[in-house]
């Protein structure tokens, strides 16, 4: 099975994230980049499926040059090779452009299964997996906490408000995973060393038949008009429980008219 797993580099959530004042896009230079947490679960699921069914796992990342760190991490976990879509023309792409560009690459490299995280920690739109399924015309098996493949048929448990849906489809398909699905492995020392020798193909937009007029800030279907830091939360009152902590909390709730 030919599995492509989409991995995004995101700013470390522990650092302060900013938008750039010149073009209102995320300032990716100012912060350390890490692998989007949920994408580690996507990589793990891809590796497990490969272990069970054979095949190959390819990492796909769209992002600036420094996103290679993210690719190395996924390769160190055990993925076989990577494709890095990197081009200045992509800077400022919104979800429509990003899904278009990634779909073009996926069509070029081919796949039986595409696996993504269900949401990134920076933009948190959660729309990319559905958009890719739409653009590729393949079944959408998203928000999965369990994936089973048998021959060409695939079944997932899709999380829902009330529990879950059992969903069936035929490969090729697009899957997104939630963090309940598995426990991502840590790269071993051997894995980290091996990752350095694994092939990483870097593509510019022209290499994947991506139309420059459909990507980047100028093409974006949506735009940030302006932004401002949220007013800081007023410092709260912290009391130590001296036997009447519950009563104190009730007084506070009453002062706010919750009781």
Partner 1 sequence: MSEILVLVEQAEGEVKKVTLELLTLARSLGTPAAVWAGPGLTPEAKARLAEYGAEKIYVAPSSDVVDYVVAPKAELLAQLVTAKSAAAVLVAATAEGKEVAGRLAVKTDSGVITDAVGVGDGFVADQSIFGGGVNVHSRVRKGTPIIAVRPNSTAPVAAAGAGTEEEVSVTLSDAAKAARVVERVKQEKGARPELTEAAIVVSGGRGVGSAENFSVIEGLADALGAAVGASRAATDAGWYPHQFQVGQTGKTVSPQLYIAAGISGAIQHRAGMQTAKTIVAINKDPEAPIFELADYGVVGDLHQVVPQLTEEINKRK
Is 93 near partner 1 (CB under 8 A)?
A: no
Is 39 near ligand FAD (CB under 6 A)?
A: yes
CA atoms within 13 A on the CB side of 242: 4
Looking at the Cβ atoms of 127 and 192, the one nearer to partner 1 is: 127
Residue 39 buriedness (CB in 10 A; 0-12 / 13-18 / 19+): buried
With beta carbons less than 8 A apart as the criterion, state whether 68 and 172 touch.
Answer: no
E strands, 63-191, are: 81-85, 113-117, 140-150, 153-160, 163-170, 173-177
Tell me which stretch binds partner 1 (CB under 8 A): 60-68, 74-82, 166-174, 187-195: 166-174
Provide φ and ψ at 69, rounded to 5°: -60, -40
Is 127 near ligand FAD (CB under 6 A)?
A: yes
Q: Is 93 helix (H, G, I), strand (E, B) or coil?
A: coil
In the complex, what is the shortest distance from the CB of residue 184 to ligand FAD, in angstroms, rounded to a whole number?
9
Is 217 near ligand FAD (CB under 6 A)?
A: no
Looking at the Cβ atoms of 106 and 152, the one nearer to ligand FAD is: 106
- For the packed helices 68-77 and 37-53, what is the interaxial angle rounded to 10 degrees? 40
Partner whose binding site includes residue 39, from ligand FAD, partner 1, none (CB under 5 to 8 Å by kind): ligand FAD
Is 148 near partner 1 (CB under 8 A)?
A: no
For partner 1, the binding residue among 10, 43, 71, 220 (CB under 8 A) is: 220
Which of 114, 128, 54, 52 has its CA nearest to residue 83?
114
Count interface residues toward ligand FAD (CB under 6 A): 32
Q: Is 104 helix (H, G, I), strand (E, B) or coil?
A: helix
Provide φ and ψ at 93, rounded to 5°: -65, 140
For partner 1, the binding residue among 138, 195, 203, 205 (CB under 8 A) is: 138
Considering only residues 128 through 187, tell me which ones interact with ligand FAD, judged by CB under 6 A: 128-129, 179
CA distance 58 to 187: 16
In the complex, what is the shortest distance from the CB of residue 37 to ligand FAD, in angstroms, rounded to a whole number?
3
Is 215 near ligand FAD (CB under 6 A)?
A: no
Residues 89-116, buried b or exposed e (16+ Cβ, 10 A)?
A: bbebbbbbbbbbbbbbbbeebebbbbbb
For partner 1, the binding residue among 21, 150, 197, 236 (CB under 8 A) is: 236
For partner 1, the binding residue among 80, 96, 198, 217 (CB under 8 A) is: 96
Is 6 near ligand FAD (CB under 6 A)?
A: yes
Considering only residues 220 through 239, tell me which ones interact with ligand FAD, judged by CB under 6 A: 222
Looking at the Cβ atoms of 18 and 91, the one nearer to partner 1 is: 18
Please enumerate in sequence order all residues whose Cβ is within 8 A of that of 54, keeping only pairs 6 or more positions apart, or say none.
1
Residues of this chain that interact with ligand FAD (CB under 6 A) are 6-8, 26, 36-39, 42, 60-63, 93-96, 98, 116-117, 119-120, 122-129, 179, 222
């Amino acid at each position: 099975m030919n599995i492509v797993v989409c991995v995004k580099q995101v700013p470390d959530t522990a650092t302060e994230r900013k938008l750039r004042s010149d073009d209102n896009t995320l300032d990716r230079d100012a912060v350390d980049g890490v692998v989007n947490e949920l994408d580690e679960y996507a990589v793990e699921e891809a590796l497990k499926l490969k272990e069970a069914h054979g095949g190959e796992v390819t990492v796909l990342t769209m992002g600036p040059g420094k996103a290679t760190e993210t690719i190395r991490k996924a390769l160190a976990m055990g993925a076989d090779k990577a494709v890095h879509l990197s081009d200045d023309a992509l800077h400022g792409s919104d979800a429509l452009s990003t899904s278009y560009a990634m779909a073009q690459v996926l069509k070029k490299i081919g796949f039986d299964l595409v696996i993504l995280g269900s949401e990134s920690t920076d933009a948190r739109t959660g729309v990319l997996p559905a958009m890719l399924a739409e653009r590729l015309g393949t079944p959408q098996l998203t928000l999965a906490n369990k994936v089973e493949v048998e021959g060409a048929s695939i079944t997932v448990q899709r999380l829902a408000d009330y529990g879950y849906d059992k969903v069936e489809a035929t490969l090729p398909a697009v899957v997104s995973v939630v963090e309940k699905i598995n426990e991502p492995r840590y790269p071993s020392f051997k894995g980290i060393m091996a990752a350095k020798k694994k092939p990483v193909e870097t593509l510019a937009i022209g290499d994947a038949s991506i139309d420059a007029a459909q990507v980047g800030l100028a093409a974006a279907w949506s735009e940030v008009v302006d932004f401002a830091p949220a007013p800081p939360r007023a410092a709260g009152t912290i009391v130590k429980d001296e036997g009447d902590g519950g009563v104190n909390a009730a007084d506070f709730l009453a002062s706010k008219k919750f009781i």
